[in-house]
Homo-oligomer: A and B are copies of this chain.
Amino acid sequence: MKFGPDRAHTRAADPWRRQTPWIIPNAVPGTSATADIQTQPAGAHVLADGMVSLGLRRRADAIAAAFGAIEPTLRDLTPRQFEPSFPDIASRILRDRLDVSVPPAALRATWTNPLNLRALHGAVVLAVFRQLVERAFDRDHTRLTDGESVEALIQRWGFHAVDVSACADGRLSGVLDYILRVPPAVVAWRKSYAGAMFDIDESIRHWESIELRRWRDGRPNTAGVPTRFLKIGVYHFSSLDPRHEGCAAHGSDDGRAAGTLLRRLEEFEAAVRAIHSEDAGVATLMVGVDTDTDAIRVHIPDGAGRMSLDRVADNRDLYPATAALDREGAKAAIRDAVAGAAGVVADDDATEGMRWLCGYLLKNNIGQIDAVRSWHGGAYADAGHTERLIVVGDPIDDVQLRNLAFQAQMNTIEEGSGDLFIGISILRKRLEPEGLPVPVLANARYDTRIPGAADRARKRAKRLRSAILASHPALAERGLLHVECAVRAGEAPRLEPVDPEDARS
């Protein structure tokens, strides 16, 4: 069977031939998308798209500013808490400066019962995060694809759905928008796990669900079209401090992180074929991220779809190797590197779609490397963790930024306690010395079409919260663990807060 896209139809969609960028700089509401576009900075890589990077930079600054305003605001408020009209004043200040809503009644202090600034800090961090999610930054760049939908483009690469499992590590919090720079519409499913150790049974169910939709509804294409479901696993490592700043779930051992994920991807692919026959449409791809420079290495599948730890196209090499070339030369060099790693000739039919995708990711990522170089002097100053919060339960991917959130997807803490433990340890190390609690959002998504689903989601969010607190009783007791719950109707921008004490829901 031939999985590669039909050449006659795909040449026109070759991303290498596109001039328009995928991501445009209009991320910050209130600023004009085109007002002060800067030209490509001097010394930039020929494949880097300055406009895209600028947009991403603006959004990053807006997010950092929102969180950065929290501590000064709370420091200002602390000594004034015993003033007579403090609750109203403080509520207004929190709204004006942080755009979060805290009712005055929650800000009432007496000399015997002063404000709990720890709890307030945790609550405000989560409120700022919720507010950023609701702001719904424009991430939908499908209109930039020359009138062709992202879905159609993916299909031309030979896929009908893309499922990404990344490590829960906060330094991958920007993996889609920043590191890989793929429009959200490309990714049908996204969950994070410590060490990227996704649940095989759940992934099989996802494969089945997507496959059934093809058969019953012909969406995104009919089952007769030989496209594949692509599962991408993303691990990470640190080029500057490999033994300490790598993946905590794998003891900061680069080889172990990649080897374990590769085995799991192979198991997933084998499982789908074993259950649904050898011709089941499934493919896997593994990507490693250097969290110091955001450079990726892509483990290129060979002609039989097999990957190895060594057969990679690595942007740490490709960036400098292509820096002095002209645009066409740089693209050709990446194409050749991908074909070389795949061990196929440059015009091999069977691997064409996958090679295009790999080249697309590598080219996009060169823009991110370039941005890190120009804005952070080559590598991030904060090589380690500075996550703001932990998201437990269902993923929240709307706000993308390095070190924003440690995301640990799980149905119950009983299954996910290892992931949660890693996340709390990471944030605690930084926050506890400052006397600040680890803010955790227990999030449950529901399908508005399913009767009773909202109510069950509220129950699940509350159950997660209870289990998180129960799993770290000493920390909770000392006020160093602040857990709230929320539910979300499908893809709606609003995270609905859930009162954990409300027995009705």
B-contacting residues of A (Cβ < 8 Å)? Answer: 200-201, 204-205, 208-209, 211-212, 215-217, 223, 264, 266-267, 270-271, 274-277, 411-415, 447, 449-453, 456, 463, 467
Contact = CB atoms under 8 A, between A and B. Distances in A.
A211 B449 CA distance: 19
Contacts of A270: 450-451
Contact of A412 (B271, B274, B275, B412): B412
B205 A211 contact: no
Given A205-B205, A411-B411, A414-B413, A451 B215 contact: no
13 contacts: A200-B453, A201-B450, A215-B215, A215-B223, A217-B277, A267-B450, A270-B451, A271-B449, A271-B450, A274-B450, A411-B411, A414-B463, A414-B467
A301 B274 CA distance: 39
Nearest to A451: B267
Contacts of A456: 200-201
Given A200-B450, A209-B208, A452-B200, A216 B276 contact: yes
A200 B223 CA distance: 27
B275 A463 contact: no
Contacts of A451: 266-267, 270-271, 274
A266 B217 CA distance: 24
Contacts of A266: 451
A269 B363 CA distance: 48
Nearest to A448: B274
Contacts of A209: 205, 208
| Most chain B C-beta atoms within 10 Å of own C-beta, residue among A200, A413, A452 | A452
A161 to B, nearest CB: 15
A449 B201 CA distance: 12
A440 to B, nearest CB: 16
A421 to B, nearest CB: 14
A451 B266 CA distance: 9
A209 B272 CA distance: 13
Nearest to A211: B212
| Most chain B C-beta atoms within 10 Å of own C-beta, residue among A201, A217, A413, A450 | A450
Contacts of A412: 411-412, 414-415
Contact of A215 (B216, B415, B463): B216
